[in-house]
Amino acid sequence: MLAAYPHADLSRLDPAAEAKVERLKALAYACRNLRGEMNVSPAQRMPLLVAGGGAEIAEYAPILQALAKLSEVQIVADMPADALAPVAVVGETRLMLKVEIDIAAERERLAKEIDKLVDHAKGIGAKGLAYIRWADEPNCSFKKFLADGDLEKICSAVDAQQGDLVLICADKTKTVLSTLGAIRLICAKKLDVIPEDQYNFLWITEMPFFEYDEDNNIWVAAHHPFTMPMEECLDYLDSDPANVRAKAWDLVLNGTELSSGSMRITDFELQQKMFEALGMTDEEIQAKFGFLVDAYRYAAPPHGGMGIGLDRLAMIMCKADSLRDVTAFPKVQNASEIMSECPSTVDKDSLDILGIAVTAKEEE
């Protein structure tokens, strides 16, 4: 028997219904995460307090109670001021399991969570994280190094309040930025404060042209050395490399770099000066880039370019966490490719075209 290949009837899709299901799933996942944080068995039924979310929460309550194995769903105006249980945030809605808290055990759990963040920071390259933890009163990991009143000044400077955790990283600028950026994302995902189904684009322009290599005590190009500097920065190439900005740009979507580009240097003297600013000798310039600088002697049209990372765009559109979820990575650890069995033998005709001869060596 033959049958036509089924085709979806897009007219029967209901975006509003799909949005409701996604919202309900997010609430159920939040309840599951709360159980995991508090080490509460999925079989143990308990009340859930819910604040915010409007009338839809009352509509979801019976289904959420069944999905999350709750004894009841209590809709409240706000969470109890003296509550000690963790709170999950889903959009404008806050959820808390109503359960008796072992304060000592909860403090130990929170300390372990902080330790995980510290270990993650070390994995990025930082020496660790200093922190201020404000439970009953402000306390910090570096209190013995502070004078009287210093802790209060720090809390005031960062607007810390009771219930807050302040994470501090002290290191080289590049290390601090990458570390705190990663920690910020971890905390945001844990608190579920990153909006879903939004595409936030950002253009970044005029990035620093040089970065300082502290290991070798020299300035190196932050981009390839053919990138054009901003005209107003040309006078700083020799005197103040830190103040030189590039005619370069990045396109970022939801925190992920999608595309990079720049205008290129087309002036022979400027290109020569750029190589010299990077500490290259005339001999090195000629040996590595002679073909380019020689061509620039005869002039070149202004030009630039940019390339887009389609794999990253696909990752974001598919809501995947890794490029491996959207792109085939056939190679294994030893760099062999199991689908085409590469590397493999090459026939003699192909080797002759390339002028390569394979000589067998007898084992001793």
> What pLDDT is stored for residue 228 in this prediction?
92
pLDDT-derived band at 184 (thresholds 50, 70, 90) equals: very high
Q: Say how far apart CA 216 and CA 205 lie, in whole Å.
A: 28
What's the mean pLDDT in 75-96?
A: 83
Residue range of the domain that includes 29: 17-97
Is 347 part of any domain? no
Q: Which residues contact 104 (CB under 8 A, 6 or more apart)?
A: none
* 12-21, 31-40, 118-127, 327-336: least confident range: 327-336
pLDDT-derived band at 341 (thresholds 50, 70, 90) equals: confident
Q: Which residues contact 68 (CB under 8 A, 6 or more apart)?
A: 27, 28, 31, 32, 48
Examine the pLDDT at 360 and tell me if it is beyond 80. no
Same domain, 205 and 270: yes
- In tens, the pLDDT along 103-130 reads 777 778 788 888 999 999 999 889 989 9
* 62-71, 159-168, 329-338: least confident range: 329-338
Listed residue (159, 252, 170, 244) closest to 207, CA to CA: 244
Average pLDDT, the chain: 85
Same domain, 115 and 165: yes
pLDDT-derived band at 337 (thresholds 50, 70, 90) equals: confident
CATH number of residue 131's parent domain = 3.30.1360.30
φ, ψ of residue 72 in degrees (nearest 5): -170, 165
Same domain, 91 and 110: no
- In tens, the pLDDT along 267-281 reads 888 888 888 877 788
* 186-190, 192-196, 262-266, 311-315: least confident range: 192-196
pLDDT-derived band at 364 (thresholds 50, 70, 90) equals: low
Q: Say how far apart CA 227 and CA 246 lie, in whole Å.
A: 7
Between the CA of residue 116 and those of 32, 122, 138, what are the distances in Å? 20, 10, 21
Domain end point (choices 51, 66, 97): 97
SS3 335: coil
> What pLDDT is stored for residue 331 in this prediction?
66
φ, ψ of residue 242 in degrees (nearest 5): -65, -20
Same domain, 110 and 182: yes
> What pLDDT is stored for residue 330 in this prediction?
63
What's the mean pLDDT in 281-310?
A: 87
What's the mean pLDDT in 310-328?
A: 85
- Are 119 and 111 contacting, i.e. CB atoms less than 8 angstroms apart? no
Same domain, 149 and 221: no
Share of the chain above pLDDT 70, in %: 98
CATH number of residue 47's parent domain = 3.30.1170.10
Examine the pLDDT at 32 and tell me if it is beyond 90. no
Same domain, 53 and 93: yes
Is 164 part of any domain? yes
For tokens 């969470």, the residue is: 79
Per the confidence metrics, is the pTM higher than 0.85?
no
Same domain, 68 and 115: no
Same domain, 213 and 318: yes
Q: Say how far apart CA 167 and CA 190 lie, in whole Å.
A: 15
- In tens, the pLDDT along 132-173 reads 988 778 888 888 888 888 989 999 999 988 888 999 999 888
φ, ψ of residue 224 in degrees (nearest 5): -70, 155
Same domain, 93 and 131: no
pLDDT-derived band at 2 (thresholds 50, 70, 90) equals: confident
SS3 217: coil
Domain end point (choices 191, 211, 245): 191
Is 196 part of any domain? no
pLDDT-derived band at 247 (thresholds 50, 70, 90) equals: very high
> What pLDDT is stored for residue 259 in this prediction?
92
Examine the pLDDT at 203 and tell me if it is beyond 90. yes
Same domain, 88 and 109: no
Share of the chain above pLDDT 90, in %: 15
φ, ψ of residue 344 in degrees (nearest 5): -140, -175
Same domain, 224 and 319: yes
Report the DSSP beta bridge partners of residue 203: 251
